[in-house]
């Protein structure tokens, strides 16, 4: 027994010694490799979505609408895993609003239910409905929206009037066009937009079907273009790759910042705990499609990918290489074990939400007031993410990322930007 | 579309332990934290008692009790960890900013439905945080539209449910601090939330940093909006005319905490105090209780000047106080959108 233990200890030590060969430069290069692969996969999935959307628009049958919805859900898988790159990398953070803004006042885009209400204190354009209005006034100017183009969406309509909830582009605008509003409240079921909303003859429902089709095509085209741009930033010589590899300590801090900020402030706070506290069925990120359980799950997986230096692509192939785990093991194996345990706990908790949702207990039902089982599930995820962030802070300490000049804090450099 | 990035940046000198760290933590908990949580618990209990005796939104005693409780909350609103985060207590006391306009909507729904939770304190704890706490109470006391909705008796019941709930949360926070949370910070250990004196000090340091960030970005930044489009309606508790008062009180509380944490270094204390004094002076000169003057270019520039003063304090805290304590900025709840 003793000799087995000894052998195990030696083996562990041996592996630890091998890991000592890992350099920060290798870890950063592989981090950029995972980013490149994740964005390339997101791009490929968006192109598949675009093909499905084209089929839907040319032949708006129920089956083609279902196919487009399935392509959208598949496209979320790699994209959500890329969110871990957002907070540590300004190049991603500055761009992210084009593709993944949420929550949105969807009345900006298309018809909504009467219960949605009208313009709000916060947003004069909450019910603009550009699909029904080829011309409208915006901040004192008349806007010609006769043709709905990618440029109109990106340059004029997106964040119109400086309001973030005016989301005209990205995954959630497309999601709204494919599903429509989820009017089931805390009940089961997602949005139920009929395929005839895209019919270009007398069977058209919801009015302005040709403009709705134009909008959907333009938004999908824009998503593909934006992802093309981001995937290119992580190739050799790309800005994203150059930025993280230029200064090793700053690069490692960027990795950990992305992991910690997504875990704590964003996912645990803004996206999970807030919705639960408000008991609002629309406080779920993929509220039209009822796909929120997957979005949270793949966010969590992306965080783990970065720490372990391992990414499983949609085709099942695995990329793995030099990782933060190697660096931490070298300095403090116990902390690496703690970090890995916390990441596993998070995936278990997010996995529980996912499997319950897939079994029919939808995320918006979990948010309902007094729903103890739902609260327990969601808080399980929140608590695991908060614990995980605490351990990430310990990793920062143990890696001794000292002597880094204080720079790049947007909240200090550009306070106006923070709450806009 | 931006957020507090890289708040984690500045990191410590792990080997340079500060000699008096345990003493700094102990003194800060006793002189700064416990005084404030006790003060809020008492003021919230008083508010509930006054509310039980009158439902008249114009009653001067009720309004005074509201302001006293709000003052006490702002004085501790930066202490967002441990007991305040259990069962969403702090969110239930203070749900703001409300960028979705959830508070008036949730209140209107409760009033229209004559919700059974209004007369059942236990059930009221499950109500959306948007309809609970001091910011919801502000609507019932000061918002003309809300004050006309539904029946008097319904609004009265809602007001009592809110003040009772706030008092219960205030009492629970104070009780947890006294029962064991103070000890967890003062005597950190492997089985508690803080494994070392450095981690305990880091929690207090993060509270200072995120409290200042909230004042700069939310209390001042939200009404400032952009130069082209200021947003005076987004000012915190503008309906009760408390927007600037909250800024002043939060800075005063932050100064007290900063002095406690920097205690060992007199030169740093002097620099912090002088930066706080400059900001408090700028706040006094504003003479604009609801920050409504952001609508004019001149008015907005003055609010921006105050925000710049607060950001100068934040820079000293991050660049000098953090290294002095030997702790990193870490993550906070304001990271993200």
If you average pLDDT over residues A303-323, what whole number do you get?
98
Q: Is residue A7 part of a domain?
A: no
The count of other CB atoms within 10 Å of the CB of residue B160 is 18
pLDDT at B336: 62
pLDDT digits (tens, 9 = 90+) for A31-52: 999 999 999 999 999 999 999 9
The average confidence (pLDDT) of chain A is 89
Residuewise pLDDT in 10s, chain B (337 residues): 333 333 333 333 333 445 689 999 999 999 999 999 999 999 999 999 999 999 999 999 999 999 999 999 999 999 999 999 999 999 999 999 998 888 998 999 899 887 888 989 889 999 999 999 999 999 999 999 999 999 999 999 999 999 999 999 999 999 999 999 999 999 999 889 999 999 999 999 999 999 999 999 999 999 999 998 899 999 999 999 999 999 999 999 999 999 999 998 999 999 999 999 999 999 999 999 999 999 999 999 999 999 999 999 999 999 999 999 988 777 776 766 5
pLDDT digits (tens, 9 = 90+) for A51-87: 999 999 999 999 999 999 999 999 999 999 999 999 9
* Res A363 pLDDT > 60: yes
pLDDT digits (tens, 9 = 90+) for A148-163: 999 999 999 999 988 8
Residue A74 Cα, gap to closest chain B Cα (Å):
25
Contact A396 B126 (CB under 8 A): no
A143 φ, ψ to 5°? -105, 130
Confidence of residue A200 (pLDDT cuts 50, 70, 90): confident
Q: Is residue A250 part of a domain?
A: yes
Contact A162 B311 (CB under 8 A): no
pLDDT digits (tens, 9 = 90+) for A93-135: 999 999 999 989 999 999 999 888 777 767 889 899 999 999 9
Contact A406 B217 (CB under 8 A): no
Measured between beta carbons, which residues in chain B are less than 8 angstroms from residue A254? 6
Q: Is residue A258 part of a domain?
A: yes
pLDDT at B11: 35
Q: Measure the CA–CA gap between B119 and B140, rounded to whole angstroms.
A: 17
Q: What angle do CA B124, B125, B130 make, to 5 degrees?
A: 85
List C-alpha distances in Å: B5 to A86, A162, A385, A402, B93.
10, 21, 18, 18, 27
Contact A257 B130 (CB under 8 A): no
Q: Measure the CA–CA gap between B103 and B65, rounded to whole angstroms.
A: 21
Nearest CA among B143, B72, B57 for reference residue B105: B143
Q: Measure the CA–CA gap between A145 and A297, rounded to whole angstroms.
A: 38
* Res A10 pLDDT > 70: no
pLDDT at B151: 93
Residue in the structure block whose two tokens are 């290489």? A321
Which member of A93, A162, A254 has the closest CB to residue B2?
A93
The count of other CB atoms within 10 Å of the CB of residue B180 is 12
Is residue B241 within 8 A of residue B290, CB to CB? The reply is yes
Domains of chain B: 21-186 (1.20.1420.20), 197-325 (1.20.120)
Q: What angle do CA B166, B183, B13 make, to 5 degrees?
A: 110
Contact A120 B213 (CB under 8 A): no
Which member of A266, A390, A397 has the closest CB to residue B337?
A266
Which member of B2, B97, B128 has the closest CB to residue A410?
B2
Q: Please tell me which residue, A386 or A187, carries the higher pLDDT value.
A: A386
Q: Is residue A414 part of a domain?
A: no
Q: What angle do CA B288, B290, B291 make, to 5 degrees?
A: 60
Is residue B237 within 8 A of residue B243, CB to CB? The reply is yes
Strands A135-138 and A141-144, sheet pairing: antiparallel
Q: Is residue A3 part of a domain?
A: no
pLDDT at A121: 66
Q: Measure the CA–CA gap between B70 and B51, rounded to whole angstroms.
A: 14
Is residue B67 within 8 A of residue B242, CB to CB? The reply is yes
The number of residues in chain B equals: 337
pLDDT at B82: 96
For chain B, what percentages of helix, strand and coil (3-state, to nearest 5) are there?
70, 0, 30
Contact A419 B218 (CB under 8 A): yes
Contact A265 B130 (CB under 8 A): no
Q: Measure the CA–CA gap between B281 and A365, rounded to whole angstroms.
A: 50
If you average pLDDT over residues A225-250, what whole number do you get?
96
Q: Measure the CA–CA gap between B246 and A238, rounded to whole angstroms.
A: 46
Q: Is residue A282 part of a domain?
A: yes
Peptide bond into A294 cis (omega under 30): no
Question: Mutate which of A334, A409, A410, A413 to test chain B, going by most B C-beta atoms within 10 A?
Answer: A409
Q: Is residue A418 part of a domain?
A: no
Measured between beta carbons, which residues in chain B are less than 8 angstroms from residue A406? 9-10, 315, 318-319
Work out how many domains chain A is built from and give that number: 1
Strands A141-144 and A310-312, sheet pairing: unpaired
pLDDT at B19: 60
pLDDT at A7: 43
* Res A406 pLDDT > 70: no
Q: Is residue A1 part of a domain?
A: no
Residue B19 Cα, gap to closest chain A Cα (Å):
19
Q: Measure the CA–CA gap between B81 and B88, rounded to whole angstroms.
A: 11
Nearest CA among A80, A45, A85, A89 for reference residue A350: A80
**Of the candidate ranges A275-279, A392-396, B13-17, the one whose mean pLDDT is the lowest:** B13-17
Which member of B3, B13, B225 has the closest CB to residue A418?
B3
Contact A261 B335 (CB under 8 A): yes
Spell out the SS3 assignment of chain A. CHHHHHHHHHHHHHHHHHHCCCCHHHHHHHHHHHHHHHHHHHHHHHHHHHHHHHHHHHCCCHHHHHHHHHHHHHHHHHHHHHHHHCCCCHHHHHHHHHHHCCCCCHHHCCCCCHHHCCCCCCCCCCCCCCCCCCEEEECCEEEECCCCCHHHHHHHHCCHHHCCCCCCCCHHHHHHHHHCCCCCCCCCCCCCCCHHHHCCCCCCCCCCHHHHHHHHHHHHHHHHHHHHHHHHCCCCCCHHHHHHHHCHHHHHHHHHHHHHHHHHHHHHHHHHHHHHHHCCCCCCCCCCCCCHHHHHHHHHHHHHHHHHCEEECCCCCEEECCCHHHHHHHHCHHHHHHHHHHHHHHHHHHHHHHHHHHCCCCHHHHCCCCCHHHHHHHHHHHHHHHHHHHHHHHHHHHCCCCCCCCCCCHHHHCHHHHCC
A248-261 and A292-308 helices cross at what angle (nearest 10)?
150
Element (H, E) at A143: strand A141-144
Domain harbouring A99, CATH code: 1.20.1420.20
Residue in the structure block whose two tokens are 């900001």? B279
Is residue A154 within 8 A of residue A219, CB to CB? The reply is no
* CA atoms A275, A280, A284, A290: torsion sign: positive
Tokens (6 digits) for B87: 């069962």
Q: Measure the CA–CA gap between A291 and A268, rounded to whole angstroms.
A: 17
Which member of B12, B234, B336 has the closest CB to residue A261?
B336
What predicted TM-score, i.e. pTM, was given to this entire model? 0.86
Tokens (6 digits) for B64: 């005074």
If you average pLDDT over residues A349-378, what whole number do you get?
95
**What is the span of the domain harbouring residue A25?**
12-408
Contact A253 B6 (CB under 8 A): yes
């Amino acid at each position: 027994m003793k000799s087995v233990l000894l052998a195990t200890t030696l083996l562990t030590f041996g592996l630890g010694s091998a890991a000592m060969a890992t350099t920060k430069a290798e870890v950063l290069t592989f981090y950029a490799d995972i980013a490149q692969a994740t964005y390339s996969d997101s791009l490929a999935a968006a192109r598949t979505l675009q093909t499905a959307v084209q089929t839907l628009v040319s032949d708006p049958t129920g089956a083609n609408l279902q196919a487009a919805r399935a392509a959208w859900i598949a496209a979320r898988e790699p994209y959500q895993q890329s969110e871990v790159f957002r907070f540590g990398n300004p190049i991603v953070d500055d761009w992210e609003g084009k593709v993944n803004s949420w929550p949105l006042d969807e009345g900006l885009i298309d018809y909504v239910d009467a219960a949605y209400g009208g313009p709000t204190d916060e947003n004069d354009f909450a019910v603009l409905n550009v699909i029904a209005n080829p011309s409208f006034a915006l901040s004192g100017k008349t806007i010609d929206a006769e043709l709905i183009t990618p440029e109109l969406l990106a340059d004029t309509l997106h964040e119109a009037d400086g309001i973030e909830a005016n989301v005209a582009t990205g995954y959630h605008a497309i999601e709204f066009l494919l599903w429509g509003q989820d009017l089931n409240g805390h009940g089961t079921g997602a949005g139920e937009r009929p395929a005839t909303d895209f019919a270009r003859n007398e069977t058209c429902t919801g009015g302005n079907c040709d403009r709705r089709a134009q909008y959907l095509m333009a938004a999908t085209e824009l998503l593909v273009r934006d992802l093309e741009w981001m995937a290119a930033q992580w190739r050799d010589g790309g800005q994203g790759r150059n930025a993280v590899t230029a200064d090793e300590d700053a690069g490692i801090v960027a990795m950990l910042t992305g992991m910690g900020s997504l875990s704590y402030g964003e996912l645990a706070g803004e996206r999970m705990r807030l919705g639960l506290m408000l008991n609002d069925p629309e406080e779920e990120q993929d509220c039209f499609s009822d796909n929120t359980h997957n979005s949270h799950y793949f966010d969590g997986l992306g965080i783990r990918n970065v720490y372990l230096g391992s990414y499983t692509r949609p085709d099942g192939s695995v990329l793995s290489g030099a990782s933060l785990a190697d660096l931490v093991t070298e300095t403090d194996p116990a902390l690496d074990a703690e970090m890995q345990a916390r990441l596993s706990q998070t995936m278990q908790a997010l996995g529980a939400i996912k499997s319950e949702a897939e079994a029919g207990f939808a995320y918006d039902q979990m948010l309902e007031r007094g729903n103890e089982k739902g609260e327990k599930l969601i808080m399980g995820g929140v608590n695991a993410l908060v614990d995980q962030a605490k351990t990430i802070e310990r990793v920062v300490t143990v890696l001794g990322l000292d002597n880094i000049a204080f720079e790049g804090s947007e909240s200090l450099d550009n306070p106006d930007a923070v709450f806009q | 579309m931006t957020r507090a990035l890289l708040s984690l940046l500045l990191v410590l000198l792990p080997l340079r332990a500060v000699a008096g760290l345990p003493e700094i933590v102990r003194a800060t908990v006793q002189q700064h934290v416990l005084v404030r949580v006790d003060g809020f618990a008492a003021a919230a209990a008083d508010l509930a008692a006054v509310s039980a005796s009158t439902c008249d939104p114009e009653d001067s005693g009720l309004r005074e009790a509201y302001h006293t409780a709000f003052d006490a909350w702002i004085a501790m609103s930066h202490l967002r960890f441990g007991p305040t985060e259990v069962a969403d207590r702090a969110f239930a006391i203070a749900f703001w900013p409300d960028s979705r306009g959830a508070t008036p909507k949730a209140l209107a729904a409760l009033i229209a439905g004559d919700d059974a939770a209004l007369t059942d304190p236990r059930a009221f704890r499950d109500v959306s945080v948007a309809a609970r706490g001091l910011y919801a109470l502000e609507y019932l006391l000061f918002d003309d539209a809300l004050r006309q909705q539904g029946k008097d008796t319904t609004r009265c019941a809602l007001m009592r449910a809110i003040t009772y709930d706030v008092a219960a949360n205030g009492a629970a926070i104070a009780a947890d601090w006294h029962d064991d949370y103070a000890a967890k910070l003062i005597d950190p250990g492997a089985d508690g939330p803080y494994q070392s004196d450095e981690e305990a000090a880091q929690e207090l340091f993060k509270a200072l940093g995120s409290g200042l960030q909230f004042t700069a970005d939310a209390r001042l930044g939200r009404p400032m909006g952009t130069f082209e489009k200021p947003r005076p309606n987004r000012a915190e508790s503008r309906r009760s005319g408390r927007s600037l008062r909250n800024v002043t009180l939060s800075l005063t509380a932050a100064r007290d905490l900063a002095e406690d944490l920097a205690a060992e270094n007199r030169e740093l204390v002097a620099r912090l105090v002088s930066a706080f004094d400059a900001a408090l002076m700028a706040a006094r000169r504003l003479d604009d209780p609801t920050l409504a003057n952001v609508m004019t270019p001149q008015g907005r520039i003055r609010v921006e000047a105050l925000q710049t003063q607060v950001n100068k304090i934040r820079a000293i805290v991050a660049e000098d106080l953090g290294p002095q304590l030997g702790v990193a900025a870490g993550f906070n709840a304001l990271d993200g959108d």
